[in-house]
Amino acid sequence: MRFKMYFELEQPQIDIQYRKSIISYIKHAIQDYDENLYQEIYARNRKKTFTWAPILARPKFRQEIIELQDNNFSILFSAYNYLYALHIYNAFLAQQQKKFSLNQNSIILKNIVMIPEKTINSNKIQVKMASPIICRNHNRETLKDMYYSFERPEFEKYIRINIEEQMKQENLDSSLLEGFKITSISSKKAIVKLYEKKIETSIGQFQLEGNKQLLDYLYKAGIGAKKAMGFGLMEIS
């Protein structure tokens, strides 16, 4: 399930760490709609099976803020599980026309539009990343994380591990990963500040090759780590 939310800002700017603000809004909307759903997603450390990407018109990046050409921006939201996504859609729907404070600014959700999903009929697709791919190596002993862009030799190994971990949430067989490949078409490394960390990510265009069921899953659920924080959402070229 895929939909786009259209917002109006009180002032034509957004914090440089806008992901924190948007995550706060998502949490607020879900908790206000259904406490049990909120607990299921956030309090029980459930793997989030949704992803999103901001769409900012002509952004100008300053030290602490991003200046926009007007007071409008949108968020593209996608999830694999339709029923799960429908509940979240209804949570956002209930927030329409309600003001939500963001530091010294505020937003109002003006409209939500369903986006038709594309059907995958091939074992190869070309995608453009609407939000960057995070490839993470989490060391369970030291609890430290390493991040790799597609330029690194470790990327192929750990992106597969990231995908396998996210597939477990939907009880998808890991054998679907057999033969999976991700190849850069026109991509680059991007350094993203996430809270207090600066991490390597990958943006641009890629070719994905593999089982059609797996490709459909990645298209809907996103690819890589930290998808619920606004990473890994793809659009089919």
**How much of the chain exceeds pLDDT 70, in percent?**
98
Please give the CATH number for the structural domain made up of 2-114. Answer: 3.30.70.1890
Domain boundaries for CATH 3.30.70.1890 within the chain: 2-114
Task: Give me the mean pLDDT over the 188-205 stretch.
Answer: 93
The SS3 of residue 61 is strand
Residues of the chain with CATH 3.30.70.1900: 124-236
* CATH 3.50.50.60 applies to domain 124-236: no
The pLDDT of 127-137, averaged and rounded, is: 97
Mean pLDDT of the chain: 93
How is residue 170 written in tokens?
């939907």
Whole-Å CA distances, 192 to 3, 17, 60, 109, 183:
25, 10, 16, 26, 21
pLDDT of the residue at 44: 65
- For residue 51, the tally of other CB atoms under 10 A from its CB is 29
Q: pLDDT value at position 191? A: 93
DSSP 124-176: EEEEEESS-B--EEE-TTT--EEE--TTSTTHHHHHHHHHHHHHHTTT--GGG
Q: Tell me, rounded to whole angstroms, the distance of Cα 67 from its chain centroid.
A: 22
Q: What is the pLDDT of residue 58?
A: 87
Closest Cα partner for 128 from 234, 11, 18, 6? 234
The pLDDT assigned to 188 comes to 96
**Tens-place pLDDT, residues 42-83:** 876 666 789 999 999 889 988 888 999 999 999 999 999 898
Which of 34-43, 105-114, 169-178 ranks highest by mean pLDDT? 105-114
Tell me, what's the pLDDT at 232?
Answer: 97
Per-residue model confidence (pLDDT) at position 34: 95
Over 90: is that where the pLDDT of 106 sits?
Answer: yes
